[in-house]
Amino acid sequence: RFFTIEAYAPGHFVRSLVEPGESVTEGDVLVVIELMNMEEDIVAPFSGVIYSILPPLPGQLVRPGDPLVVIKS
């Protein structure tokens, strides 16, 4: 089963902390986005393997619903 982690609010992409093929556990930080001048961690909702990373370049705008990471459970 594949699950896409999406941005939940408008902001700017800061960095990705995972690579495709990497195993993650629930609560691991996947990517960081900046919301209203504060960095916000986007975490894994469950354990799995990173299938792909879809974020834009650092500093680019992300909108609600924009895909960030795909996890395979």
| pLDDT score, position 48 | 98
68, 42 Cβ separation under 8 angstroms: yes
Residue 23, pLDDT above cutoff 80:
yes
Please check the confidence at residue 30 and state whether its pLDDT lies above 80.
yes
pLDDT at 61 over 80: yes
Write down the pTM of the prediction: 0.90
Amino acid at 27: G
Report the C-alpha gap between 24 and 9 in whole angstroms.
Answer: 23
